[in-house]
Structure 1
Amino acid sequence: MPAENPPVAGNLDDDDYPAYTMGRAADVLGTTPAFLRAVGEAELITPLRSEGGHRRYSRRQLRVAARARELVDQGTPVEAACRIVHLEDRLDDALRSNEEMRRKLDEHGPEI
């Protein structure tokens, strides 16, 4: 019996699926592979590696890299842009967490 292929449709909707090669990711972002390597070295994004060792990027990673590119285009050094994006993400997480706690307190009172 032949082996079944995994469903492709699920991968199309998965923001974390590493669908983009480095060259394609650079084209989508309008940048160079060197920029993608730089944001990887700054640990803003960590691309997955294919069996051959090639970098593969997800849509979520490309959105993060695009945010860093906007800052770089405004004159911010790559390393600083990566740090800013990382801090923005942490702030968003903290604000979201605070909002969830406020909602719980509003619903349940101070006994939480």
Structure 2
Amino acid sequence: MSGPGAPSPDAAVYVISVAAELTGLHPQTLRTYERMGLIRPGRTSGGGRRYSHRDLELLREIASLTSSGIGLDGVRRILALDTEVAELRARNAELEAELAAARDLLRRRSNPMAATVSAVNRLPVLRRPEPPQSLVVWRRRGF
């Protein structure tokens, strides 16, 4: 689904019968998932459903979870937690960038004065433990 001329992953291009065939689900199952709020396909001006590549990936994930014995309420909660984790990771990346920029600014403005050096030393120290998706913030004491 990439390359010149290919639709974006969010482009709603698949009709329900094609989406059902590509995911191995029955069209009625797709309608049920939509009624339950698990998926929100695009709509044509006439009201027909159109699914994107991302929708198909989500449908496959839902099918995988349900086939492993997880109920639809559990699937809903898992999907909500996945969304929350993605949002938190994005926010964490923003905060890391802001901290790096603040440190850089303080270092560029620093001079031999102890107050400036002390301000740099009071910033939290970021260390990345294993596995790489977690983050620990250490704060120096005594400043």
Shorter-chain TM band: 0.7 to 0.9
Structure 1: how far apart are the matches of 2:74 and 2:35? 12
Q: Find out whether 1:23 has 2:25 as its counterpart.
A: no
- Structure 1 stretches of 4+ moved >6 Å: none
Q: TM-score, normalised by structure 1?
A: 0.77
Match of 1:71, as an amino acid? L
Counterpart position of 2:65: 71
Larger Rg: 2
Alignment coverage as a number of residue pairs: 100
For the 8 Å contact 1:67–1:85, the answer to whether it is kept is no
Gaps of 5+ in 2: 104-122, 124-143
Q: Find out whether 1:32 has 2:35 as its counterpart.
A: no
Gaps of 5+ in 1: 1-8
Q: TM-score, normalised by structure 2?
A: 0.62
For the 8 Å contact 1:18–1:59, the answer to whether it is kept is yes
Match of 1:41, as an amino acid? R
Structure 2: how far apart are the matches of 1:39 and 1:82? 10
Counterpart position of 2:129: none
Kindly indicate whether structure 1 or structure 2 has the higher relative contact order, using CA contacts under 8 Å at least 6 residues apart.
Answer: 1
Counterpart position of 1:49: 43
Identity across matched positions, percent: 28
The structure richer in helix per residue is 1
What is the CA RMSD across the aligned residues, in angstroms? 1.7
